[in-house]
Structure 1
Amino acid sequence: MAKPLIVGFGGTTRPGSSGERMVAAVLAATEQLGAETRLFGGAALAAMPHFAPENPGRTVEQIEFVEAVRAADGIVIGSPGYHGGVSGLVKNAIDLLEDLRTDARVYFDGRAVGLIVTAAGWQAGGVTLSALRSITHAMRGWPTPLGIAINTIAQKPFDADGRLVDADIIAQVNAQAAQVMALARR
């Protein structure tokens, strides 16, 4: 049996952002459970021009991203909670997935989608997580029961070297990875 492919995307334009590191952590946990993974971090998302439905032409970066999601058995999305909403960078990537509308497996159909939000407060984290859940439902995906919201002011999940060290957050990462993998294996 082939390894399930789990594709993650998210973060900010800042290299090593907490959101990108959280997506990478969930992907690493799925690898421990037998997945193959692919990460599209903030720099990769920033390289993609704004989605324009009237323009069918796509850049190499856009094509690689859409093809990876098309092939994915599970998905992990991470967004900062900017002003209580999904960041433009992440929303642009989601909008680009409109290219999956005519596929036999439309958008996120039949796939678990792990959702992660990093925000400088609980309210922005909760509201943004709710928005990502709604987007996932609209795209026919299955949001994992566990969504992860990190308050980057109150919580310090990473050490100075960027390693995930908070035991409670590590447990959430592992739980979300297991939930993504449970559906990906079906």
Structure 2
Amino acid sequence: MARKQPLIVGIGGTLAQNSSTARLLKHALDKCEEAGAQTRLFTANALELPFYAPGRELASSAASTLVAAMREADAIILSSPGYHGSISGLIKNALDYTEEMAEDSRPYFDGLPVGLIAAGSGWQGANTTVAALRSIVHALRGWPTPLAIALNSRQPLFDAEGQLVATQVDEQIRAMAGQITHFLERARPPVAA
């Protein structure tokens, strides 16, 4: 019996060019691909969605695409900047769209491993943002990975070409991606080829 290739959906970043949280998210998805997963990335303009309005028909094709990907996902990675001690409005609004999944056979992120990345202009913002992400994932019935990535964006993370230069961060992201793929290997039954 062959296993289907798991889908890991990454949601995060900012609208700023060269967003460190978007770059870190992409790096994490690359590590998941190396482990055999397929990935989908939602960042920047793909997250510039109308404010979520419960009970209203989805107002944009981008919102419909995001909800469809979250429904299909076997795992999620969230990456947010630390804005005033919590996640950004861009990420919060994207996560509000999970309400479209409330009545699904698998509601919200129920049973999914969820990796967390936060970067703040200082350690306090990064750590409080990770705590906020954990709380949100619990509310969405997901399983936050034991290792979450909290980074101080005042420290150099990338070179001029956008390559991650912080070796310890690369190791942390690789470990978090490994936790996600390990969870998927143990949690999902084999399916027929």
**Normalising to structure 1: TM-score of the pair?**
0.96
1:15-67 CA distance string (max 9 Å, x none): 22000011111100000000000000112101x11101141233110011001
Structure 1 CA distance for aligned equivalents of residues 97 and 17 of structure 2: 22
Paired residue secondary structure (1:85) = coil
Q: Which residue of 1 aligns with 2:166?
A: 166
> Which residues in structure 2 correspond to 1:29-178 (within 5 Å)?
29-46=31-48, 48-153=49-154, 155-178=155-178
Question: What is the letter of the counterpart of residue 167 of structure 1?
Answer: T
User: Tell me, which stretches of 5 or more residues in structure 2 are unaligned?
Assistant: 188-193
User: Tell me, which stretches of 5 or more residues in structure 1 are unaligned?
Assistant: none
Deviation for aligned residue 1:157: 1.3
Structure 1 CA distance for aligned equivalents of residues 58 and 171 of structure 2: 42
Are residues 1:7 and 2:9 paired? yes
Question: What is the letter of the counterpart of residue 35 of structure 2?
Answer: L
Is the CA contact (8 Å cut-off) linking 1:78 and 1:117 kept in structure 2? yes
Structure 1 CA distance for aligned equivalents of residues 182 and 112 of structure 2: 10
Question: What is the letter of the counterpart of residue 19 of structure 2?
Answer: S
Is the CA contact (8 Å cut-off) linking 1:15 and 1:43 kept in structure 2? no
Structure 1 CA distance for aligned equivalents of residues 107 and 90 of structure 2: 22
Structure 2 CA distance for aligned equivalents of residues 11 and 17 of structure 1: 6
Is the CA contact (8 Å cut-off) linking 2:58 and 2:64 kept in structure 1? no
Which runs of structure 1 show a deviation greater than 6 angstroms over 4 or more consecutive aligned residues?
none
Is the CA contact (8 Å cut-off) linking 1:51 and 1:95 kept in structure 2? yes
Question: What is the letter of the counterpart of residue 111 of structure 1?
Answer: L
Structure 1 CA distance for aligned equivalents of residues 59 and 108 of structure 2: 17
Question: What is the letter of the counterpart of residue 168 of structure 1?
Answer: Q
**Normalising to structure 2: TM-score of the pair?**
0.93
Question: What is the letter of the counterpart of residue 173 of structure 1?
Answer: I
Structure 1 CA distance for aligned equivalents of residues 163 and 5 of structure 2: 26
Q: How many residues align?
A: 184
Question: What is the letter of the counterpart of residue 130 of structure 1?
Answer: A
Structure 2 CA distance for aligned equivalents of residues 57 and 96 of structure 1: 9
Paired residue secondary structure (2:159) = coil
Deviation for aligned residue 1:177: 0.3
Deviation for aligned residue 1:137: 0.3
Greater Rg, structure 1 or structure 2?
2
Q: Quote the sequence identity (%).
A: 47
